[in-house]
């Protein structure tokens, strides 16, 4: 794995954790177990999504937008599953996952646009 990919994985994960933990707090959640769960599910899903995206871009002719949408959908479903089954304060776990991912993804797009 080259340094560029490792840097992209690390930066993406760090920013995702910042935005999704921030969203967790903004929604009024304070449960430490749920905070840890948010961190863990993002550590599980984010590197996989970023790596699969890079692989798809480098080795296939698939449409990048469709690849992103499919990967984000998978991440939302996995995260929502864990929030539903292991979270304590997630009344609507899939809605939380969708909103957190929209914010994280959107902020990532803004950062890329201005850097």
Write the pLDDT tens digit of every residue in 11-40: 999 999 999 999 999 999 999 999 999 999
CB atoms within 10 A of CB 87: 19
Q: Which residue has the higher pLDDT, 76 or 115?
A: 76
- Structural domain boundaries, residue 78: 3-114
pLDDT greater than 70 at residue 1? no
Helix (H, G, I), strand (E, B) or coil at 104: helix
pLDDT greater than 90 at residue 8? no
Task: Quote the number of domains for the chain.
Answer: 1
Contact 100, 78 (CB under 8 A): no
C-alpha 76/C-alpha 102 separation (Å) is 10
Which residues lie below 8 Å from residue 73, measured CB to CB, with a gap of 6+? none
> pLDDT over 70 for what percent of the chain?
99
pLDDT greater than 80 at residue 93? yes
């Amino acid at each position: 794995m080259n340094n560029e990919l490792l840097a992209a994985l690390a930066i993406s994960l760090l920013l995702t954790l910042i935005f999704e933990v921030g969203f967790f707090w903004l929604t009024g959640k304070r449960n430490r177990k749920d905070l840890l769960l948010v961190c863990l599910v993002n550590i599980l899903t984010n590197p996989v999504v970023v790596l699969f995206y890079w692989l798809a871009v480098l080795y296939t002719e698939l449409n990048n937008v469709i690849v992103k949408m499919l990967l984000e959908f998978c991440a939302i479903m996995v995260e929502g599953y864990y929030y539903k089954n292991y979270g304590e304060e997630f009344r609507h776990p899939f809605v939380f996952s969708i909103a957190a991912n929209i914010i994280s993804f959107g902020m990532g797009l803004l950062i890329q646009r201005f850097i």
